[in-house]
Chain A
Amino acid sequence: MNKIMRGLLAAALIVGLGALFPSASGAATKPSGELTVSAAASLTDVFPVIADAFQKRFPDTEIRFNFAGSSTLMNQVIAGAPVDVIATASEPTMQIGVDTSLVARPLLFAKNLLTIAVPAGNPADIKSLADLQRSGLLLGVCDTAAPCGAAASELFYKNKLDVTPVTRELDVRSLLGKVISGDLDAGIVYVTDVKAAGNKVEFVEIPITDNVLTTYPIAMVADTQSAELAQRFVNFVRFSTTSQGVLRAFGFAKPW
Chain B
Amino acid sequence: MRGQRAPLFLLVPGLVALIFLVVPLITLLAQTPWEAFPKIISSPEALVALRLSIITSLAATGLAAVFGIPMAWLLAREVLPFTGLLRALVIVPLLLPPVVSGVALLEALGRRGLVGGFLYDNFDITFPFTTVGVVIATTFVAMPFLIITLEGGFRSLHQRYEDAAATLGASSKRIFFKVTMPMVAPAAVAGLVLCWARALGEFGATITFAGNFPGVTQTMPLAVYTALESDRSVAIALSLVLLVVSVGVLVALRGRYLQTRAS
Contacts and interface: CB of A to CB of B under 8 A. Distances in A.
A170 B226 contact: yes
Contacts, number: 61
Contacts of A144: 230
B211 interface: yes
Interface string B207-221: 110011110111000
A165 B110 contact: no
B87 interface: no
B226 A183 contact: no
Interface in A159-189: 165-170, 174, 178, 181-184
A192 interface: no
A59 to B, nearest CB: 37
B144 interface: no
Interface in A195-250: none
Interface stretch (A1-9, A44-52, A69-77): A69-77
Interface in B82-140: 106, 110-112, 126, 128-129
A194 to B, nearest CB: 19
B155 interface: no
B257 interface: no
B37 interface: no
Nearest to B116: A183
A178 B225 contact: no
Given A75-B232, A181-B110, A168 B213 contact: yes
Interface residues of B, number: 22
A165 B211 CA distance: 11
A143 to B, nearest CB: 6
A169 B111 CA distance: 17
Contact of A178 (B128, B213, B228): B128
Interface residues of A, number: 22
A63 interface: no
B202 to A, nearest CB: 16
Dominant secondary structure of chain B at its interface with chain A: loop
Contact of B112 (A72, A168, A183): A183
B229 A183 contact: no
A119 B226 CA distance: 26
Contact of A146 (B207, B217, B229, B232): B229
A166 B226 contact: no
Closest 6 CB pairs of A and B: A167-B211, A145-B229, A145-B230, A166-B129, A182-B112, A183-B128
Interface of B: 106, 110-112, 126, 128-129, 207-208, 211-214, 216-218, 225-226, 228-230, 232
27 contacts: A71-B229, A72-B229, A138-B126, A138-B129, A140-B129, A143-B212, A143-B229, A144-B230, A145-B226, A145-B229, A145-B230, A146-B229, A166-B129, A166-B211, A166-B216, A167-B212, A167-B213, A168-B218, A169-B211, A169-B212, A170-B229, A178-B211, A181-B110, A181-B112, A182-B111, A183-B112, A183-B128
